Amino acid sequence: MGRHGSSAQSLINQAVDRGIGLQKVASTETLLAELIWACQVESVHHLDDLLLRRTRIGLLLDNGALAVLDEVKQVCQQYLNWDDFKWTSERSRYLNIIQQHYSLPERQSLQSEG
């Protein structure tokens, strides 16, 4: 309810009706159904929209959720109609954003500044 307010029950009903269930994404409290919901109703245009802003699993999981990208790929391809080319492009864009803006500086950079 805290994340989806009055839409929470619809999200849960849709998950159960589609047989998705209430499976969590890795060690987060985010449901796979929430990723699907975001793709369907929250105007996701880029992978970073989905993982950093709509569901935040890219912030909650190590390495920007790198370990669950295969699972996310299936969701994006099915619910956003992304083909392999679009997925590859979005994945590359997303990993670049994670590296540039959400990762710790590399040791070499710290040593050379220091």
Tokens coding 81? 């109609």
Confidence of residue 4 (pLDDT cuts 50, 70, 90): low
- How far apart are alpha carbons 45 and 100 in whole angstroms? 20
Given a cut of 60, whether residue 15 has pLDDT beyond it is: yes
Provide the phi-psi class of 34: left if phi over 0, else alpha when psi is between -120 and 50, else beta. alpha
Q: What is the pLDDT of residue 92?
A: 97
What is the tens place of the pLDDT at every residue in 23-55? 889 999 888 888 998 998 889 999 999 999 999
What string of H, E and C letters represents the secondary structure of 40-81? HHCCCCCHHHHHHHHCCHHHHCHHHHHHHHHHHHHHHHHHCC
Listed in sequence order, the residues at least 6 apart from 10 whose beta carbon sits closer than 8 Å to its beta carbon are none
Residue pair 70/45 in contact (Cβ under 8 Å)? The answer is no
Q: What is the pLDDT of residue 22?
A: 78
**Where exactly are the structural domains of the chain?**
5-106
